[in-house]
Amino acid sequence: MRYQGSCHCGQVTFEVEGQLDGAMACNCSICRRKGSLLWFVPRAQLTLLTPESQLATYTFNKHVIQHRFCPTCGIHPFGEGIDPKGNAMAAVNIRCLEDLELDSVPVKHFDGRAL
Inform me whether the pLDDT recorded for 115 exceeds 70: no
In angstroms, how far is the first alpha carbon of the chain from the final one? Answer: 33
Total domains, the chain:
1
Tens-place pLDDT, residues 67-110:
999 999 999 999 999 999 999 999 999 999 999 999 999 999 98
Q: How far is CA 8 from each of CA 60, 76, 91, rounded to the nearest angstrom?
A: 24, 9, 18
Tens digit of each residue's pLDDT (9 = 90 or more) over 28-43: 888 889 999 999 999 9
d(CA 115, CA 100): 31
Residue 113's pLDDT is 80
Which residue segment(s) compose the domain that 74 sits in? 2-114
- The CATH number of residue 85's host domain is 2.170.150.70
In this prediction the pTM is 0.92
Say yes or no to pLDDT of 46 above 70: yes
